Amino acid sequence: MQSPVRLSRQHAGVAAWIGIARVDITPPVGIYARNWGAALHDVAESIHRPLQLTVMTSVQQLDGEPLVLIDADLGWWKTPQVFASVQRRLLEAADLEPAQLIFALTHTHAGPPLMEPDESLPGADKIGPWMEQVVASAIGAIREARQQAVAAVLEWHVGRCGLAAYRDLDDPAAPGRRLICGYNPAGQPDDTLLLGRVTTRDGRLLATLVNYACHPTTLAWDNRAISPDFIGAMRETMQRQTGVPALFLQGASGELGPRYQYVGNTSVADQHGRQLAFAALATLEDMQPPAERLVYTGTVESGAPLAVWQHQPRDLPRQLRAHTGVVSLPLKDWPTAAELEQQRAATGDRALEERLRRKRDIRRALGDGAEYDLSIWVWRLGEAVLIGTCCEAYSCWQQELRRRFPDLTVICMNLINGSIGYLPPQSLYAQDLYQVWQTPFDRGSLERLTEVSAELIALSLTADPRRLEPV
């Protein structure tokens, strides 16, 4: 029997008091910015585009408990402890509980690493003052966004973009022996784009949000400029058209990146950014008017019987709930941090030295246990749910969650509130693959995350006593 056709169409949305603020967090030229093992330079020599930090606050009542989303043009935290120190300061300054704050990284690979100063690295003396500026700017932007909050509507619409490509490729020089990290024409990437639109109750546009899964790895070892990669041109293109800030929310991009990448030419990053922006703008133009739904209202006989659909106003929910969960993930049997440091100090290979430095830092951060308790953040935004972790999950995570909740808009995010390692599917653990040997998490971790994520999403749809009040 054929399923009945739905005779209405609407966007997942929420009504709230929403504020937006943006600050510049561009670091100085000369700062340590080596993110690629193949790079022959250590410090940034120029600025391609400024790095930006944008805050969106959402609250049910003006005097209530806010949800604070930070979108920052930053790459990754060297250790969980570095982020934890920043998180504590932000929570204290803004009077927030941990569940209320999401600090999201765009994951540009053309900026300074977020780390404690290391005197052995050129330009690292500039990292401390710059990170202090980032924290102070974030605190100021949170306050500004809360002060500027207005009655608004946040609604989501699904679009598509062809920028992201599958990037696990059977090595042509060693077929069947290893997978290399680069464009695989045979892959089928997740091209889902979620466009968030923030408007006032009378329809004035305030901001847009782009949730898309794609590594910002256009610019690589030959690039010597500070850059937000493709996110910079995406924002500029969208803002030129809309006149309002555009935020970027990195999706589950563990195996996804641009087809043409690893270049030093910044114009390629700009081209990628415009491609994503045009797809997002097309999705924006495809949306219903704010707080309205499209409803079948009857038939008009005009030679052919014509189905008439009209826009009608609707009341949006006001639920804003935040909670966190934990999933215990198995850890690999890695060498100790001391042993990894000995290996790093002994090598004369710059690429291997950088790889061992990162592995040492991860080992120090996670300790010597057999499992690690990974935090998961879940926000209920009316008819949508935002969920994310500090890891780099493969896109099957977001695809599976959306399959399990077909009537729910699910915004999935990598690299929020810290950064640790990749989460590939267990079927890849038999492969010689960067994402497999980079991660400290053992096989089955992504599958565990998926199950617990589904449980937490289901919990967010109930009358959870841990909901953020003010009602």
Q: What is the pLDDT of residues 368-378, one digit of tens each?
A: 778 999 999 99
Supply 303's token pair: 């030679």
Q: What is the pLDDT of residue 467?
A: 43
CB atoms within 10 A of CB 97: 13
Strands 304-313 and 292-302: antiparallel
Q: What is the pLDDT of residue 469?
A: 37
Q: What is the pLDDT of residue 360?
A: 80
Q: What is the pLDDT of residue 59?
A: 97
pLDDT mean across residues, the chain? 93
- For residue 5, name the pLDDT band (cuts at 50, 70, 90): confident
pLDDT at 334 over 80: no
More confident residue, 10 or 336: 10
pLDDT at 151 over 90: yes
pLDDT (average), residues 61-69: 91
Distance CA 103, CA 270 (A): 25
Q: Return all residues near 399 (Cβ < 8 A) that are at least 6 apart.
A: 190
Nearest to 231 by CA among 278, 191, 270: 270
Q: What is the pLDDT of residue 61?
A: 85
Q: What is the pLDDT of residue 367?
A: 74
- For residue 379, name the pLDDT band (cuts at 50, 70, 90): very high
Q: What are the residue boundaries of the structural domains of the chain, listed by start?
A: 8-291+316-331+370-460
Residue 55 to residues 58, 99, 107, 145, Cα–Cα distance (Å): 10, 16, 17, 7
Ranges 224-233, 440-449, 462-471: which has the least confidence: 462-471
pLDDT at 68 over 50: yes
- For residue 2, name the pLDDT band (cuts at 50, 70, 90): low
Q: Which helix (H) or strand (E) holds 85?
A: helix 80-94
Nearest to 192 by CA among 393, 411, 424: 411
Q: ∠ CA(273), CA(86), CA(124), 5° rounding? A: 75
pLDDT (average), residues 45-67: 95
- For residue 471, name the pLDDT band (cuts at 50, 70, 90): very low
φ, ψ at 314 (rounded to 5°): -145, 155
Q: Roughly what angle, to the nearest 10 degrees, separates helices 396-404 and 445-460?
A: 40
> Residues in the chain, how many?
471
- For residue 117, name the pLDDT band (cuts at 50, 70, 90): confident
Q: ∠ CA(95), CA(60), CA(410), 5° rounding? A: 95
pLDDT at 468 over 50: no
Q: What is the pLDDT of residue 347?
A: 86
Q: What is the pLDDT of residue 1?
A: 53
More confident residue, 467 or 181: 181
DSSP calls for 40-53 = S--B--EESS--EE
Above pLDDT 90, what percent of the chain?
Answer: 84
Q: What is the pLDDT of residue 132?
A: 97
Distance CA 406, CA 461 (A): 14
pLDDT at 221 over 80: yes
- For residue 351, name the pLDDT band (cuts at 50, 70, 90): confident
- For residue 365, name the pLDDT band (cuts at 50, 70, 90): confident
Q: What is the pLDDT of residue 470?
A: 29
